[in-house]
Amino acid sequence: MTTLTCVEICAGAGGQALGLEQAGFGHTAAVEIDADACETLRRNRGSRWKIIEADVADVDGAEFRGVDLLAGGVPCPPFSVAGRQLGAADERDLFPEALRLARQIGPRVVLLENVRGLAAGRFDGYRAQVVATLRELGYQTW
């Protein structure tokens, strides 16, 4: 059986990554900015995964062109009711970086996870913009 390939951004300590691995994805890379989370990743999968300890904004997707899946749980504070809900005005909003990487990598599938707050009416325009960009890139969205 051929292993599906994955690049995961905002990987944290690897919770989603482990689920993707169990679903049959081999991680070409896991990107995370937090040093402690990266150490956890290295201790648990460092021999099998390329762990990139860096800001997602500094990652060049061209290196990963053609992987099957780009996945990530981009930071939720820009949209969370527990945060200030600043959306695009929040410096932690990494949806633009995820979309940039989708454009550079050209994966077969893009999986971006966030919080229920993103579904609030105040972010209708923002969600529409994300969806429009994904559609421009040739992805079907739901």
Main-chain dihedrals φ then ψ at residue 27, nearest 5 degrees: -80, 115
76 is a catalytic site residue: yes
Return the SS3 of 75: coil
What pLDDT was estimated at residue 106?
97
- Domain of 101 in residue numbering reads as 4-136
pTM of the complete model beyond 0.85: yes
Closest CA relative to residue 130, chosen from 74, 58, 69:
74
For residue 107, being part of any structural domain is answered with yes
pLDDT tens per residue across all 142 residues of the chain: 568 999 999 999 999 999 999 999 999 999 999 999 999 999 999 899 999 999 999 999 999 999 999 999 987 877 887 777 878 877 888 999 999 999 999 999 999 988 888 888 989 999 999 999 999 999 998 7
Q: Report residue 46 as tokens.
A: 């460092």
For residue 37, being part of any structural domain is answered with yes
CATH no. for residue 66? Answer: 3.40.50.150
For residue 103, being part of any structural domain is answered with yes
Please name every residue paired with 27 in a beta bridge, in sequence order, or none if there are none: 6
For residue 60, being part of any structural domain is answered with yes
When divided into structural domains, the chain yields a total of 1
For residue 44, being part of any structural domain is answered with yes
For residue 142, being part of any structural domain is answered with no
For residue 36, being part of any structural domain is answered with yes
What is the number of other CB atoms lying within 10 angstroms of the CB of residue 142? 3
Alpha-carbon distance of 4 to 68, in angstroms, equals: 6
Alpha-carbon distance of 77 to 117, in angstroms, equals: 9
Please name every residue paired with 7 in a beta bridge, in sequence order, or none if there are none: 29, 70
For residue 141, being part of any structural domain is answered with no
Q: For the chain, what is the radius of gyration of the CA atoms?
A: 15
Torsion, Cα of 51, 55, 60, 65 (10° steps): 50
Main-chain dihedrals φ then ψ at residue 31, nearest 5 degrees: -110, 130
Determine contact, residues 1/10, Cβ cutoff 8 Å.
Answer: no
Selecting among 6, 10, 38, 76, the annotated active-site residue is 76
